[in-house]
Chains A and B, each alone.
Chain A
Amino acid sequence: MILTVDDISFGYGSRKILDGVFFTLESGCITSLIGRNGAGKTTLIKLMMGFLMPDAGKVLINGINSHDMKAEGRAKAIAYIPQYTSMVYKYSVLDSVLMGRAPHIMLFSHPKENDMEKALEALGMLGIEHLAKRPCDELSGGERQLMMIARALAQDAEILILDEPTASLDYPNQLLVMETISLLKTKGYSILFSTHSPEQALMVSDRIILLKMDGKAVSRAPEELMDGKELSELYGRKLCIAEIETGKGRRLVCVPE
């Protein structure tokens, strides 16, 4: 499944946020979205999810304008993991993950046994079956993020969009989420995530979208950023990129000058 952001422009009032943004999420790839505060990362994700209407341009899912798709059809193609969720009522983890089955369940009907199995399967894939009966307000930040990812998996959508999945997580949990994203790629999911850490982007991505303050965006492979020039420009700080052998493969790291 291929998602294309096709020449999207968007502004709040007279303030232009995105100006002719174009890129494609290739099937089975990890794409990361980086840029400074206010560059429009969350706005772009909201446009991709159809929460906002672009001033110009469109979002295509397998060539079909996503605004012409039914909400249900869109939900079967794209799942959304928000940066922060507020649960007013304390559902169990299993009940929360089960909500991901919504697009597959008829309007006036309730989840069936196979939906329950899908939800448990999603928990199993992330190794958090043991949390199934835990109320969601008793989870750590990392566990909560995994629960949200499990809900997206239960949704059976091929494309996962995560808005700053590591914001407010401690370092081990940030790594856990990154490893989970890599794991999901091996299962055939296409993933887009936004992040404030160029390091995370370099660590797992196949493509990196650099969203600049003037509303323009460019898509690069991590190797193309090796000279550090574009990243330095993006963040307004001189940055150096290096390749390090970790013993389990080579990693790109990004450090200030």
Chain B
Amino acid sequence: MKSILSKRGKIIAAFIVLYLAVFILSFSIGRFPVGPAELIRILLSRMLPIEKTWTDQAESVVFIIRLPRILVASLVGMALAVSGHIFQIIFRNPMVSPDVLGCSAGAGFGASLALLYGLSGMGVSLSAFAMGLLAVLLVWKIGSAMRGNHILGLILSGIMISSIFQSGTSFVKLVADPDNELPAITYFLMGSLAGTGRDELRLIIVPMMAAVIPVLLLSWRLNILSLPEEEALSLGIPVRMIRAIAIASASLMTALTVAVAGMIGWVGLVIPHITRMTTGTDSRTSVPASMLLGAAFLTAVDTASRSITTSEIPIGILTSFIGAPFFLYLILKEGRQ
């Protein structure tokens, strides 16, 4: 018993170490590198009396530019990974993710609609959330109505609903004012963390925590939700309530990522898979591990996107380059079984 508990602790600790390594490393890469020792001293100086050995410039790079951006990247990565993980459990389907289920496309449509009406910040997030949730519910209903292969049913209805919402987004772009709103919407949906900072961090940090904490508390019961529905019911758990909480949390997190970073694909599909391969399936371990790996992954990719070339590569392009081949690999592996 003890050894099992400590094993779980060790796995999560290893993922925390991995995340912290990426976190520190990403400060030391870029146009104004801040080394690990200097970074730690600067961060601690806000709490402890440490003699100042760094320049004002280094301090402002850390606090005003890089720290907020790295935190936003971490939160977005965490949110995409954990919402993918939740969807995969709730729909009993390892091939789904926020993008496959149409949640991202729905949220993108919601966000562009809000931008068309001149809303910002909170309004964009709420609209993204509402449409993202609507898309998932539609995909779920249509997917379950299809007889036969349930896994395929969900994916096909996801493609269809995504396509409808994408057409909606295109329509919004068509009617948008080409001088102001159109560039804003296009840029917004591109999937980029360029220019994100304190405002974005402030917008998402509280709702994301509010969405992720219930999921962590319910993580053991999520195991049971991956059983056939009648078995879960026979174990006396409130299946509908937990499912509703989980879907709402995952949709909210996805919508928030869209509201600050646009559409970033594949993270929600790939990261939960890699996590389960490493930690096993028990959600008590794999859900927190997914969060940490997602945060580390997106922080690393964002660091690459801002330092590979002189002009930033939108992060969505990079995650697709990594995620799409992985999805292909999964399909081939699934086909062989």
Do A and B interact with each other, yes or no?
Answer: yes
Q: Which residues of A contact B223 (CB under 8 A)?
A: 91, 95, 99
User: Number of contacts between A and B (CB, 8 Å)?
Assistant: 85
Chain A residues 79-128 with CB under 8 Å of chain B are: 79-80, 82, 85-92, 95, 99-100, 102-103, 105, 107-111, 113, 116-117
Tell me the bound Cα distance from A79 to B218 in angstroms: 22
Tell me the bound Cα distance from A89 to B227 in angstroms: 9
Contact B234 A99 (CB under 8 A): no
**Tally of A interface residues using CB under 8 Å:** 38
Contact B227 A79 (CB under 8 A): no
Task: Identify B1's interface contact among A80, A85, A109, A113, CB under 8 A.
Answer: A113
Contact B236 A75 (CB under 8 A): yes
* Known A71-B237, A75-B236, A82-B231: A102·B224 in contact at CB below 8 Å: yes
Does B9 sit at the interface, judged by CB under 8 A? no
Does B32 sit at the interface, judged by CB under 8 A? no
B92 to chain A, nearest CB (A): 5
Does A131 sit at the interface, judged by CB under 8 A? no
Q: Which residues of B contact A50 (CB under 8 A)?
A: 233
Contact A72 B234 (CB under 8 A): no
Task: Identify B227's interface contact among A49, A51, A87, CB under 8 A.
Answer: A87
Q: Which residues of A contact B4 (CB under 8 A)?
A: 116
Q: Which residues of B contact A109 (CB under 8 A)?
A: 217, 220
Does B94 sit at the interface, judged by CB under 8 A? yes
Task: Identify A80's interface contact among B219, B224, B234, CB under 8 A.
Answer: B234
Contact A88 B235 (CB under 8 A): no
Contact A116 B233 (CB under 8 A): no
Does A155 sit at the interface, judged by CB under 8 A? yes
Chain B residues 307-321 with CB under 8 Å of chain A are: none
> Which stretch in B134-142, B247-255, B274-282 binds the other chain?
B274-282
Contact A89 B276 (CB under 8 A): yes
Q: Which residues of B contact A90 (CB under 8 A)?
A: 281
Contact A88 B238 (CB under 8 A): no
Chain B residues 209-232 with CB under 8 Å of chain A are: 214, 217-221, 223-224, 226-228, 230-231
Tell me the bound Cα distance from A117 to B94 in angstroms: 31
Tell me the bound Cα distance from A182 to B237 in angstroms: 29
Which among B4, B230, B284 has the greatest number of chain A C-beta atoms within 10 A? B230
Contact B226 A111 (CB under 8 A): no
Tell me the bound Cα distance from A103 to B238 in angstroms: 10
- Given contact pairs A75-B234, A91-B282, A155-B235, enumerate 20 new A-B contacts (beta carbons under 8 Å): A49-B230, A49-B234, A71-B237, A71-B238, A74-B236, A75-B236, A82-B230, A85-B228, A87-B226, A88-B92, A88-B94, A88-B226, A89-B94, A89-B281, A91-B223, A92-B282, A107-B221, A107-B238, A108-B217, A109-B220
7 A-B pairs with the lowest CB-CB distances in the bound complex, closest first: A75-B236, A103-B236, A80-B234, A108-B217, A89-B281, A72-B236, A102-B235
A contacts, CB < 8 Å to B? 46, 49-51, 70-76, 78-80, 82, 85-92, 95, 99-100, 102-103, 105, 107-111, 113, 116-117, 155
